[in-house]
């Protein structure tokens, strides 16, 4: 039996395990990163509606049109029209965007991410 002083370094199996974990988390970051960047864009578009003058005077279709134009300008092209819902009451508009992103990771392994953002627009 070898003493502890003569044992040095990691085995080949240890290195393969470490490299496998690094590869897995790198792949996960590459696949999930753009999904969260897109969500940040959607969130910033919703927040920009708060600064829009007389937003509560517009019809729901005009507000949805504004949202989708701003999303396209920012590079979000695959947002479903059904993901955006509006509830209008006197002086207040509640805008809700709820959507799911499914992305293939490797083989038959998929990543499924759900997002939901709301903003309450009050008349200026």
Q: Which residue(s) pair with 118 in the sheet?
A: 96
Please give the C-alpha separations between residue 98 and each of 30, 54, 56, 82, 95, in angstroms, as whole numbers.
23, 24, 21, 9, 10
Please give the C-alpha separations between residue 119 and each of 13, 37, 84, 107, in angstroms, as whole numbers.
51, 19, 11, 38
How far is Cα 77 from Cα 98, in angstroms, rounded to an integer? 16
Would you give per-residue pLDDT tens digits along the chain (124 residues)?
566 677 777 888 999 999 999 999 998 899 999 999 999 999 999 999 998 888 888 999 999 999 999 999 999 888 899 999 999 988 899 999 999 999 998 889 899 999 999 999 987 6
Q: Which pTM was predicted?
A: 0.78
């Amino acid at each position: 039996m070898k003493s502890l002083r003569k044992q040095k370094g990691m085995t080949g199996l240890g290195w393969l395990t470490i490299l496998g974990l690094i590869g897995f988390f790198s792949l996960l970051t590459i696949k999930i990163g753009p999904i969260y960047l897109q969500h940040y864009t959607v969130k910033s578009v919703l927040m920009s509606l708060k600064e829009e003058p007389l937003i509560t005077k517009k019809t729901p279709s005009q507000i949805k049109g504004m949202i989708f134009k701003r999303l396209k300008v920012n590079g979000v092209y695959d947002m479903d029209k059904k993901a955006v819902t509006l509830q209008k009451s006197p002086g207040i508009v509640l805008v809700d965007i709820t959507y799911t992103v499914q992305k293939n990771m490797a083989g038959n392994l998929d990543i499924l991410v759900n997002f939901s953002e709301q903003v309450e627009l009050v008349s200026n």
